[in-house]
Structure 1
Amino acid sequence: MRTTDHALDLTLTGKLSATSRQTGLMGVLMSVWRQLRSRNSIGRLRDLDDHQLLDMGLCRHEVREALTSSFFDDAGRHLTQASRNRANTFYRNARLD
């Protein structure tokens, strides 16, 4: 029996080994830990004043939206996208002047 046939038989049984279950659980826990750490870091942005936030391309409203979004949404990605949109708008308007 070849290795590919053996691997095919394992996937058809529907049973996961203890190692793969543990790996899957660790992946979920690490993902939750990253989300909590990211939201904690974003929470610190509330301590900055409006000028400091604007230097990063953000406004207070966007930080609040990121923190109140669903837990499973990536709040950091939301802020990155908001900052990029603000920069694109700025440079698009600068070209028109």
Structure 2
Amino acid sequence: MESISLLLNEALSPYPVTLTPSGSHGECLLTVNSRAGLVLLSREISHAQLNDKRLLTDVVDGLHRDLRIAEGRLEPSVIAALRHAAQDKVFRSAAV
């Protein structure tokens, strides 16, 4: 778990990340703090997400997005618009 914690700290730098056991099935509570020590995000992560590289990448991507929203650098409506545009693109590709 220590190596995963180091990877998460590197991926989410400059934000300190803490992993603490939180469940009976290997879940962990992942907490992202500001440099001042304030909790910015907190998520429960499953054992599978910690051990599968693709799932862990998805977790980190989601945390990056949530941090941008929490800091006011990205509005949730922008995310919805981007998803809608991506779905339209996929739909058009399938129709051709």
Same fold (TM over 0.5): no
- Structure with max Cα Rg: 1
Higher relative contact order by CA 8 Å / sep ≥ 6: 1 or 2? 1
Q: Which has the higher helix share?
A: 1
State TM-score, norm by structure 2.
Answer: 0.30
Q: TM-score under structure 1 normalisation?
A: 0.30
Higher strand residue share? 2
